[in-house]
């Protein structure tokens, strides 16, 4: 593993390399215990082979730092034919002639070393910093991807050096699920230019009018979703739109993807490689947009729009609690970065926490856990904001416009340095292996 202290680096450069090294440490911990066969995975449309993930993060770092900034040749001449995600569709990633694990590790380690060396003895300019952060956040996203790949393939829970799944979390037993009122008004949706790093799909903040609405203070719980399942929600055609019903039919879904009905009654859920009892007060996780929408139809609710979600998470009430103040927070609790008191992030818990936990992370309106725990589906399709312009990484956002649905807020495996309230995640509406749940609004 790279030690930034072995290089003569300015504080700014050392900070970038320390973060890249931390991201790589997490990546390798997620792969360390997998056998050679597990590294190759099991062919599925919704995941990639772990060995591909391992090489891809190094290739991306090399592509945007060494090759883009310096015009360097690849340290692995065949790297583009293996790891270029824009030109190698998922279905082809299972049949590629991958280098061995050790050869792949040597390649991505050499890339990281070269990225550190090129900053020796000088201050990186803003253009360089942008691409170092791009590579960092890309790898952070892929460590989350590796986490749900392990879940999808039924591998054991990862052994992470800084995980603390046994840590005690205060739960107020008197807390009850409820709605909070959000006043309407003009709201600035999107990121402001003073944000240190954002992706092109977050640019830029623009005014939207939001009508007053009521939103649940917490995500939908497992117990609430169980009531929908037990009421026959997966068999009731009227609750599903046409695409959702077709998905349910083809998937033969009788309940959530990782739930298993027991012969004696009741359900267990699979977490990684183990069947465990349902956790009633935890947020529902591993549901897709179709399932979330059907639940809403059953409960007489609806999914929030992107603007409603971001307003509930980042807005503040005006004087006397009336209207909106016009100020926008970077995080629900304020502008200071996340801590374990505020949000369940960074895989510390290796899973979800009770929805009643972490009151310090509440938004100004009283919404809880809008950062961390589970990604939250919104009603909206993923599209550009007004005046959208492509960033250098042209294949990040635009190919997915209008084909995918937006999720907000991060999950328990999201890195705290990546997430912010303007961050827009996006997946096709059938994806239920990701670490996603939802909260609802009153109609």
- pLDDT tens-digit profile of 256-304? 999 999 998 899 999 999 999 999 999 999 999 999 999 999 999 999 9
Which tokens in the block code for residue 333?
Answer: 């609790």
Residue 406: pLDDT over 90? yes
Residue 6: pLDDT over 70? no
pLDDT of residue 62: 98
**Structural domains of the chain sorted by starting position, each given as residue range(s) with its CATH number in brackets:** 4-152 (1.20.120), 170-443 (3.90.1580.10)
- N-terminal to C-terminal alpha carbon distance within the chain: 52
* Strand ranges inside 382-423, DSSP E: 405-408
Q: How many helices (H) and strands (E) does the chain have?
A: 11, 15
Considering only CA atoms, which of 140, 138, 122 is closest in space to residue 130? 138
**φ and ψ at 4, to 5 degrees?**
-60, -20
pLDDT band at 110 (very low <50, low <70, confident <90, very high): very high
Antiparallel, parallel or unpaired: β 301-302 and 274-277: unpaired
> What element of type H or E holds 245?
helix 242-251
Antiparallel, parallel or unpaired: β 405-408 and 274-277: unpaired
**pLDDT tens across 254-266, in order?**
999 999 999 988 9
Burial category of 263 from C-beta neighbours within 10 Å (exposed 0-12, middle 13-18, buried 19 and up)? exposed
Averaged confidence pLDDT in the chain: 96
pLDDT band at 322 (very low <50, low <70, confident <90, very high): confident
pLDDT of residue 168: 85
Q: Which residue in this structure is represented by tokens 């390798």? A: 28
pLDDT of residue 2: 59
180 in Cβ contact with 217 (< 8 Å): yes
Burial category of 264 from C-beta neighbours within 10 Å (exposed 0-12, middle 13-18, buried 19 and up)? exposed
Residue 300 φ/ψ region, left for φ over 0, alpha for ψ in the -120 to 50 degree band, beta for the rest: left
**pLDDT tens across 44-57, in order?**
999 999 999 999 99
């Amino acid at each position: 593993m790279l030690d930034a202290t072995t290089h003569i680096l300015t504080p700014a450069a050392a900070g970038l390399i320390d973060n890249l090294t931390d991201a790589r440490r997490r990546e390798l911990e997620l792969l360390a215990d997998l056998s050679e066969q597990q590294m190759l995975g099991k062919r599925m449309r919704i995941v990639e082979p772990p060995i591909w993930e391992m090489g891809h993060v190094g290739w991306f770092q090399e592509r945007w730092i060494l090759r883009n900034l310096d015009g360097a040749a690849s340290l692995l001449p065949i790297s583009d034919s293996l790891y270029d995600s824009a030109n190698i569709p998922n279905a082809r990633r299972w049949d590629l002639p991958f280098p061995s694990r050790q050869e792949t590790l040597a390649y991505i380690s050499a890339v990281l070393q070269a990225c550190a060396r090129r900053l020796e003895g000088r201050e990186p300019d803003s253009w360089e910093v942008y691409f170092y952060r791009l590579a960092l956040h890309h790898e952070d996203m892929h460590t989350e991807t590796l986490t749900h790949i392990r879940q999808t393939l039924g591998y054991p829970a990862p052994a992470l050096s800084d995980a603390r799944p046994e840590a005690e979390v205060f739960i107020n037993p008197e807390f009850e699920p409820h709605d909070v009122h959000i006043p309407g008004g003009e709201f600035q949706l999107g990121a402001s230019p003073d944000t240190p790093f954002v992706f092109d799909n977050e640019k830029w903040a623009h005014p939207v009018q939001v009508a007053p609405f009521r939103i649940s203070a917490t995500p939908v719980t497992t117990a609430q979703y169980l009531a929908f399942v037990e009421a026959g929600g997966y068999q009731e055609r009227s609750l599903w739109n046409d695409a959702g019903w077709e998905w349910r039919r083809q998937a033969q879904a009788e309940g959530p993807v990782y739930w298993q009905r027991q012969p004696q009654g009741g359900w267990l859920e699979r977490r990684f490689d183990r069947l465990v009892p349902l956790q009633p007060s935890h947020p529902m996780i591993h549901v897709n947009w179709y399932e979330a929408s059907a639940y809403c139809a059953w409960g007489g609710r609806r999914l929030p729009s992107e603007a409603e979600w971001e307003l509930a998470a980042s807005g503040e009430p005006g004087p006397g609690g009336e209207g909106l103040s016009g100020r926008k927070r970077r995080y629900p609790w304020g502008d200071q970065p996340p801590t374990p008191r505020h949000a369940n992030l960074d895989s510390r818990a290796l899973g979800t926490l009770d929805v009643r936990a972490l009151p310090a992370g509440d938004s100004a309106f009283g919404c809880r856990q809008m950062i961390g725990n589970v990604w939250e589906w919104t009603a909206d399709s993923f599209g550009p904001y007004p005046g959208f312009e492509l960033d250098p990484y042209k294949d990040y956002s635009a190919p997915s416009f209008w084909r995918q649905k937006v999720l907000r807020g991060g999950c328990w495996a999201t890195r705290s340095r990546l997430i912010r309230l303007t961050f827009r995640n996006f997946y096709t509406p059938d994806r239920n292996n990701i670490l996603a749940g939802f909260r609802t609004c009153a109609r």
